[in-house]
Structure 1
Amino acid sequence: MASRGGVMVTGTNGADYEHREKVAIQYQLSPLNKSRLKYCVFFHHVLFLTMMAKLSADILDKLDIFILEIEELQIPPPLWWEYIWCLSLLLSFIGLSAIKRNNIKQLRRYMYGIVGLGFLPLLYCVLYYCGDVWRYLTRDEDEEDSSEVEIELWQGYPYGLLWYAFVLLASQVHFFQLYFSYNLLKAWRARGSLRKTD
């Protein structure tokens, strides 16, 4: 370490780094996982906006608002799981509040909510459209039969397969939300146990 005059002070050549205080791993992991969880919440909001675009026709119908451009899209009527999944967005505010205050109890509620309002409606969607997707994937292009009629299409695309794409993206976002939340819980518990031993 150099002094003001540029002269090296004896005994402090930087080799004493082993004795310096190091930041505990849980204090390093907490900000990293908080940042990653915030990104997941952002992607959750993007998926919510996508879902709201799909539900817009039904919402406008219930409000007796007629917009020709939306009506011409002929969006299929929504199922109950779509509205339940939309409720999972409210959990993001609980999660953000939990990471702001390092609140373990709120973060646990957030995780349970993601499982209940996030994963379960998506699982219902997978099961509901399973037959449709299977018929579409196993159909023979050359045969002209009635199985083509049974597959629900929207704008020429198989409706069930479009939902499977949404489920794939949403389940990844929810999985990472749970993963980063779990890492935060571990880090916060480790920090709490260190405080108790001090």
Structure 2
Amino acid sequence: MDMATNMGLKGKPTWTVWYNPRFMAVTMASRAGPRATGTDGSDFQHRERVASHYQMSVALKSEIRKLNIVHVLIWLLLAAQVTVSQLNLVSHSVVAAPYQWEYPYLLSIIPSLFSFMALPKNNISYLVISMISAGLFCIAPLIYGGMEMFPVAQQLYRHGKAYRFIFGFSAVSVMYLVMVIAVQVHGWQIYYSKKLLDAWFTSTQDKKKKL
């Protein structure tokens, strides 16, 4: 350790500087040495990618929830029609008896329930079950319903005659309108669910690579 002294008036020291070469070397090494992982900006692209996946996941979840709510409303309307018909609460001249496709379509509530359960905790298994069951319990009954009601709709179009009514409106017209809305809802449900599933898989793979 060296000491440098500045001599003032009458040879008296005015201040003293202590110089330690080892301390200076350690200080310079700590400043120029390696930083902790994740603090030097090397993981910037990874963090940006994670943030992008998170934002996409939030947006897709919001859209799926909206579609699920619309589907639940459609399901309640059909469930009400089936209940009224089965319990004979209202005359069939006021509310027509349900078509055959409406009964299996009541199972379409299952995909939406699994979808609602999958979203909060990013449950991949529930989301996959929701997508598969949507094809079985949503799309398949609607396809069958379109074929079932087509002859009745054709007769209504050609001759202008309807034999089933729902509150004064042609039952086949009302149900085709419901069907068109339902097809769009389920189509977007499956589409957004697939995109959300891809986002979850990508996020999971990135986490594994980071580890």
When the two structures are superposed, what TM-score results if normalisation uses the length of structure 2? 0.70
Q: Distance in 2 between matches of 1:135 and 1:73?
A: 19
Q: Distance in 2 between matches of 1:106 and 1:54?
A: 29
How many correspondences in the alignment? Answer: 164
Cα distance change of structure 1 residues 73 and 53 upon mapping to structure 2, 3 Å threshold: farther
Matches within 5 A, 1:1-198: 22=48, 24-61=51-88, 67=89, 70-71=90-91, 73-139=93-159, 148=161, 151-154=162-165, 156-198=168-210
When the two structures are superposed, what TM-score results if normalisation uses the length of structure 1? 0.74
Q: Distance in 2 between matches of 1:169 and 1:100?
A: 26
Structure 2: gaps spanning 5 or more residues: 1-43
Contact 1:125 1:163 in 2 (8 A): no
**Structure 1 position 193, deviation (Å):** 1.3
| Identity between Structure 1 and Structure 2 (%) | 25
In structure 2, the residue corresponding to 1:101 is in which secondary structure? coil
Contact 2:94 2:168 in 1 (8 A): no
Cα distance change of structure 1 residues 132 and 59 upon mapping to structure 2, 3 Å threshold: closer
Larger Rg: 2
In structure 2, the residue corresponding to 1:120 is in which secondary structure? helix
Q: Distance in 1 between matches of 2:150 and 2:91?
A: 27
Cα distance change of structure 1 residues 29 and 88 upon mapping to structure 2, 3 Å threshold: same
Q: Which has the higher contact order (CA 8 A, sep 6+)?
A: 1
Q: For residues 58-96 of structure 1, what are the alpha-carbon distances to aligned partners after superposition, in whole Å with 9 as ceiling and x for unaligned?
A: 2324xxxxx4xx227543322342121111113222111
**What corresponds to 2:27 in structure 1?**
none
Structure 1: gaps spanning 5 or more residues: 1-18, 62-66, 142-147
Q: Distance in 1 between matches of 2:92 and 2:148?
A: 26
Q: Distance in 1 between matches of 2:113 and 2:189?
A: 13
